[in-house]
Amino acid sequence: MAQEDKFKNVLSHAKEYGFVFQSSEIYDGLSAVYDYAQNGVELKNNIRNYWWKAMVQLHENIVGIDAAILMHPTTWKASGHVDAFNDPLIDNLDSKKRYRADVLIEDYCAKIEAKINKEITKASKRFGDAFNRDEFVSTNPRVLGYQEKIDTILKRLGKSLSDENLADVKALIEELEISDPLSGSKNWTDVKQFNLMFGTKLGASADNTTDLYLRPETAQGIFVNFLNVQKTGRMKIPFGIAQTGKAFRNEIVARQFIFRMREFEQMEMQFFVKPGTQKEWYEKWKENRMKWHLSLGLGKDNYRFHDHDKLAHYADAAADIEFKFPFGFKELEGIHSRTDFDLKAHEEFSGKKLQYFDHEENKSYVPYVVETSIGLDRMFLAVFSKALEDETLENGSTRTVLKLPAVLAPTKAAILPLVKKDGLPEIAKKIVADLQWDFNIAYDEKDAVGRRYRRQDALGTPFCITVDHDTLTDNTVTIRYRDTMDQQRVAIKDLKNIIDQEVSFKHWLQKIG
């Protein structure tokens, strides 16, 4: 299926099966703002809990907080967001459409990358089993030429952006003859900086208000609480503070569904370390975060690291974990070595010391910070889009199935009485009443059982449990597995264990080691 069609399927499935709705849809929606529906909220909660379990509860030296969205406005002066949280925007004079200049250039590079992939596919067909991908990529002149072109462009873009040389960003767009993807026009304005923070006001009367911002990242709530947590939690370096919560960015171009939203949720962890050890911790967290992703079994080939050429004003090293979304490899998570930039800036602007007394070294210092920051909504999109499959079965019929990792599935099991009589619904409801203490369980008695199976497949429910007439005499039920569609006869009393084995955090997170 073409990538675009696949993405369209993701969008319509998310709506049709109650995962994601456009915000304020009855008023024609609000651009790049979305609501999670009855199944979406379960999936989203499960992703958040999977992260929290792995990052907070399974680490003795990491604790969580939940800081407010509104913060003292000086926070954003200190963090650099007032002065530097900008994206370079460019307008097309003919189509009147607005774009992020850096994204136009990156999309241009993605097209060259698609050519590389085409060469690889062609060669792998030609050479069959003898094909060695790594060797081909490192020796084929055409591929090397394409790669060199990408590297040169991205290096120049990185340099122009970090030098704030916006004229050169425009020059690059012109030299590459990049046209408006919608109209084909090359009639561009100059590139301008645009601050992404949403402003709001605190206070009742017009002449007595304070200008505030909706936080554009959750990290600053952690930094300003660094000493509070360290002291009250008696934390010893190295230690981490984690939180999940809403962040807001007035994105210039918000396309691609929940990939780029104006209101979204982040899951961040700031790890405080001794100065000089940050590189080592940065590498460790890169590895640990990749393992977390791989533990979900969505396929190793769908992830890659992208090391940054252009570093943010606070970082001495940064990498993204990119995921293969239906529209190509894009950032899913950032791992940043943020130095002591934030704590030092807050010391300076607040006049309060934000230092740690290291008993081993017998001295105080401002710790360095390694951050892991992942968008919950992007993770939702990654899991959801990878899980959605249209399968053709052996008998030629098709089914739509959402092969979500069972640990994240919104509903763990659906209990289905074969018919709506003979006491079967009563037994089924008793099973629901028992299992719902431990799992999110659905009950469904409408339509033929085959249709009910399909409905649960499309919702990603890993188990369907059918109560039939034999159940009346032998207390067994049929359990059907979503992915294989295998069916087994099992005792009702064993259901809890069977489900738990497949959906428990332990079963999945143990793989990280």
Q: Does 89 bind ligand ATP (CB under 6 A)?
A: no
Residue 216: how many other CB atoms lie within 10 Å:
20
Q: Does 251 bind ligand ATP (CB under 6 A)?
A: yes
CB of 259 to ligand ATP, least distance (A): 6
Q: Does 289 bind ligand ATP (CB under 6 A)?
A: no
- Whole-angstrom Cα distance, residue 407 to residue 328? 26
Site string for ligand ATP, 337-356 (x = CB under 6 A): --------------------
Q: Does 266 bind ligand ATP (CB under 6 A)?
A: yes
CB of 375 to ligand ATP, least distance (A): 2
Q: Does 63 bind ligand ATP (CB under 6 A)?
A: no
Q: Does 375 bind ligand ATP (CB under 6 A)?
A: yes
Q: Does 334 bind ligand ATP (CB under 6 A)?
A: yes
In the complex with ligand ATP, the residue whose CB is nearer, 333 or 457, is 333
Residue 477 contacts residue 469 (beta carbons within 8 Å): no
Cβ neighbours for 462, distance < 8 A, ≥ 6 positions apart:
404, 406, 409, 412, 413, 481, 482, 483, 499, 502, 503
- Specify the 3-state DSSP secondary structure of 353: coil
- Considering only residues 13, 260, 286, 455, which one is a binding residue for ligand ATP as defined by CB under 6 A? 260
Residue 186 contacts residue 97 (beta carbons within 8 Å): no
The residue whose Cβ lies closest to ligand ATP is: 375
Please name the amino acid found at residue 90.
I
Q: Kindly state the DSSP code that residue 366 receives in the 8-state scheme.
A: P
- Considering only residues 374, 402, 427, 467, which one is a binding residue for ligand ATP as defined by CB under 6 A? 374
Q: Which span (113-121, 172-180, 282-290, 325-333) binds ligand ATP, by CB under 6 A?
A: 325-333
Tokens 């590189």 correspond to: 279
Q: What are phi and psi of 142, to 5 degrees?
A: -65, -45
CB of 486 to ligand ATP, least distance (A): 36
Q: Which two tokens stand for residue 331?
A: 């950032």
In the complex with ligand ATP, the residue whose CB is nearer, 156 or 260, is 260
C-alpha closest to that of 305 among 323, 291, 325, 327: 323
Site string for ligand ATP, 200-239 (x = CB under 6 A): -----------------x----------------------
| 80, HSE (Cβ side, Cα atoms, 13 Å) | 14
Rg (C-alpha) for the chain, rounded Å, is 26
Please give the residues from 106 up to 165 whose contact with ligand ATP meets the rule CB under 6 A: none
CB of 505 to ligand ATP, least distance (A): 22
Cβ neighbours for 222, distance < 8 A, ≥ 6 positions apart:
65, 67, 241, 242, 243, 268, 270
Q: Which span (327-335, 341-349, 383-391, 426-434) binds ligand ATP, by CB under 6 A?
A: 327-335
- Whole-angstrom Cα distance, residue 90 to residue 168? 13
Q: Does 333 bind ligand ATP (CB under 6 A)?
A: yes
Length reported for the chain: 513
In the complex with ligand ATP, the residue whose CB is nearer, 264 or 356, is 264
CB of 334 to ligand ATP, least distance (A): 4
Residue 41: how many other CB atoms lie within 10 Å:
15
Q: Which span (66-74, 126-134, 200-208, 332-340) binds ligand ATP, by CB under 6 A?
A: 332-340
Q: Does 373 bind ligand ATP (CB under 6 A)?
A: yes
In the complex with ligand ATP, the residue whose CB is nearer, 378 or 412, is 378
How many positions of this chain bind ligand ATP (CB under 6 A)?
Answer: 16
Q: Does 322 bind ligand ATP (CB under 6 A)?
A: no
Q: Which span (11-19, 326-334, 358-366, 496-504) binds ligand ATP, by CB under 6 A?
A: 326-334
Tokens 């007595």 correspond to: 208
Q: Are strands 86-91 and 98-100 parallel, antiparallel or unpaired?
A: antiparallel
Strand partners, 330: 323
- Considering only residues 214, 224, 261, 401, which one is a binding residue for ligand ATP as defined by CB under 6 A? 261
- Whole-angstrom Cα distance, residue 281 to residue 238? 9
Q: Which span (164-172, 182-190, 230-238, 370-378) binds ligand ATP, by CB under 6 A?
A: 370-378
Q: Does 264 bind ligand ATP (CB under 6 A)?
A: yes
CB of 62 to ligand ATP, least distance (A): 18
Residue 297 contacts residue 507 (beta carbons within 8 Å): no
In the complex with ligand ATP, the residue whose CB is nearer, 94 or 322, is 322
- Whole-angstrom Cα distance, residue 222 to residue 220? 5
| 220, HSE (Cβ side, Cα atoms, 13 Å) | 25
Tokens 């919560």 correspond to: 245
Q: Does 249 bind ligand ATP (CB under 6 A)?
A: yes
How far are the Cα atoms of 29, 240, 292, 306 from residue 318, in angstroms, in the given order? 35, 18, 18, 9
Q: Which span (368-376, 392-400, 454-462, 464-472) binds ligand ATP, by CB under 6 A?
A: 368-376
| Cis bond before residue 238 (omega within 30° of 0) | yes
- Considering only residues 331, 434, 500, 502, which one is a binding residue for ligand ATP as defined by CB under 6 A? 331
List residues near ligand ATP by CB under 6 A: 217, 249, 251, 260-261, 264, 266, 331-334, 373-375, 377-378
